[in-house]
Amino acid sequence: MGNTCNKSKKHRTEVVYTSDFKDDIDPNVTYVPNEPDLLEPLFVNSNDKSMLDRLLGCAYGQALGDAYGLSTEFETRERIHRNYPDASILIPFPNYITTIHSRRWKRGDWTDDTDQWILILDTLTEGKGDEKVFAKKLKRWIENGFREVGDSVGRGLGANVQQVVYSDGYLKDPLKTSEMVWERGNRQAAPNGAVMRCSAAAFVHYNDPEKVKSTTISMCKTTHFDPRCIASCLAVCLTITHLVKNKVNDNEIEPLIKRVQEETIQILGDNLSGEHRELFVWHIDPSRTLQDLKLDDPT
């Protein structure tokens, strides 16, 4: 993909917005004639500047957090310390020390996390959230990336997504195929390839909590059928929905986490086993530390 300034714009002609909203955001950004912006229809009818700020924070947080996180993705604590021995200094961006993993992307680029976020955003704004529409977009992205910005393939593809997408019948019935792959693996596979992209559901449907829930679940299941994956996506999207709709003070964060935890468990019900429910509660506990999570444990 190209850099983070160019990838938010998609060069197509089937949808055209004629408002002056682009100029209101940043008159210095250049658009090609009739270029649509996927973010515009979400903003154009709102006069709430603080709401717009939170929505933009969600979008920029997704892309920039992804791009910055690439600096240490898949690195152990030991290797990170070797590259950046002074923990009091922020890791430079975009001029971080590249690794075998990160050098596959251009400096400052985001990864498949945000590419797939864009695919969901595209599906929800144009395809009405149809799982088959997303499945087609996902397979096209895997094979081509975003050609508009010079991609040749979708870079960073996870093994689980690849296995599901290239199983027979995926484009015809993505949910059934995803479930079949999960069952074939003895219901063990629960990687993070859905939660990395899921916030698009809350970004689009923040005004409709029930739509957030149903869309989050369906978009997750298109590639990740395990209830643990669904639980993580629901927790993220329910939290973002609340943060976008409401101004939240620091002292309200922990009660919000508790509420989201309980709501996620209630939504999934018996689909989340007792063991997995305990693990979910343990991981989402606000008192949990990074050391507790053992994020550089290869297992």
Residues marked as binding for Mg(2+)? 111-113
Give the residue from 195, 232, 200 showing the smallest Cα distance to 215.
200
Q: Which of 116, 83, 119 is closest to 102 using CA atoms?
A: 83
What's the Cα-to-Cα distance from 121 to each of 31, 200, 216, 260, 261, rounded to whole Å?
20, 6, 12, 23, 25
Query: CA-to-CA distance for 136 and 126, rounded, in angstroms?
Result: 13
Q: Is the peptide bond before 94 cis (omega within 30 degrees of 0)?
A: yes
**What CA–CA distance (Å, rounded) separates 141 from 87?**
37
Residue among 222, 217, 213 at smallest CA distance from 119: 222
Cβ-based neighbours of 282, under 8 Å, separated by 6 or more: 288
Using an 8 Å Cβ cutoff, are 132 and 171 in contact?
Answer: yes
What kind and span of H or E run contains 52? helix 49-69
Cα distance between residue 15 and residue 85, in whole Å: 49
Nearest to 158 by CA among 146, 148, 166, 150: 166
Binding-site residue numbers are 111-113
CB neighbourhood size of 216 (10 A) = 29
Determine the Cα–Cα distance for residues 207 and 297; give it in Å rounded to an integer: 39
C-alpha span between 132 and 217 (Å, rounded): 14
